[in-house]
Amino acid sequence: MGSTPEVEDRKKETMNNRAPIGTHQTVCMLLYCLLALNCASLEMHAQDATFKVPDDVTFRVADINSEGTRIAAELFSPTNSDGKLPTIIMSHGWGGTAESLRPDAIVFARAGFLVVTIDYRGWGKSDSRLVAVGKPEMKDDKLFAEVKEVRGAVDPIDQTTDILNAIHWVAGEKRCDPDRIGIWGSSFSGGHVVYVAARDPRVKAFVSQVGSMDGRWVLGNPQLKAYTISQGTGRTRGQIGYPKPGEKFGTLNGAPVIEKFIGYAPIEDIGRCERCAKLFIIAENEELFDNKDHAILAHQRATGVKKLVTVAGIKHYGIYREKRGEAQQLAIDWFLEHLK
């Protein structure tokens, strides 16, 4: 992701017309949520049981606690290996899921890495952040509330926090070498890896693939700025809710929590990544944004070990299609050099 499609006016969700919730209804709602979450977890493991990896790769699933929300992780590692491994954490782009990263994760594991892929909160097999509807009630020293999921919405601050928490989590894995951690991101998460590396010195190398680096397009003109600010005001005052799950945003899956983009500008963070080895991979014919304002500018501003590679003859999505193998090899070579 990196495009900035026109924001269409949408009807504001109000919570003013909600009837008061009784204690019995509240308890039922809580039980329903817990049952749904348990069923989702069981379904995740049932689906993963059918996923097969090559014999030379070991696969398992795990759960990560990110600010109280369970996010789903998948782990890949070389079968015939001992000891601690250099580790790569992979994150998907706008509207994607970890499942789409499996082909890359298998290739990276075969190259000798422990690989962790995650679904952001509210996406894929991860649970959702829950927000209270109305005022919680205290009864018998227990807090009861009706809650609502925030699912299928794009929040760059939540997503980058999930990556940071995945780093905390993987540091406790017995196969992870905590002194050799790298992160990989593509498209929208191509900016996430810059944001994360600037905030966690354990990241020794990153690969940013066809990455967008600046969320401040939400302030790009007076109309859009007014809309963005009004959304933030409306949400904080309880006048509107979050985007509907999987709501379309132009051609993209998932509408943004748009006010969160005001403070999301990886292009301004690149100067804090001096000790991290930085690889930027761009598409020669990128059509979703201007590379000169994103990866090229980030590379120019970066200090320390850095490299910019242009993949010839492709547009944005060609990196996942005809040039996927080339992009995989570029990443492997970079991580081998700077993590091994």
Domain CATH code at residue 333:
3.40.50.1820
Domain assignment of residue 230, yes or no: yes
Position 287 scores a pLDDT of 97
Per-residue model confidence (pLDDT) at position 48: 59
pLDDT digits (tens, 9 = 90+) for 65-116: 999 999 999 999 999 988 999 999 999 999 999 999 999 999 999 999 999 9
Q: Count of residues for the chain? A: 340
d(CA 264, CA 194): 11
Q: What's the pLDDT score for residue 8?
A: 38
Q: Tell whether 7 is covered by a domain.
A: no
**Left (φ > 0), alpha (ψ -120 to 50) or beta: where does 167 sit?**
alpha
Q: How many domains does the chain have?
A: 1
CA distance 179 to 162: 20
pTM of the model: 0.85
pLDDT < 50 stretches in the chain:
1-47
100 falls within a domain = yes
pLDDT for residue 51: 84
Q: Please report whether residue 6 resides in a domain.
A: no
Q: Does a structural domain hold residue 55? A: yes
Tell me, yes or no, whether 84 lies in a domain: yes
Reported as a single tens digit per residue, the pLDDT across 279-323 is 999 999 999 999 999 999 999 999 999 999 999 999 999 999 999
Residue 62, pLDDT score: 98
Domain range for residue 193?
23-339
Residue of 226, 15, 197, 238 whose CA lies nearest to 91: 197
Does residue 319 fall inside a structural domain?
yes
Does the residue 261 lie in any domain? yes
- Residue 113: phi and psi, rounded to 5, are -115, 150
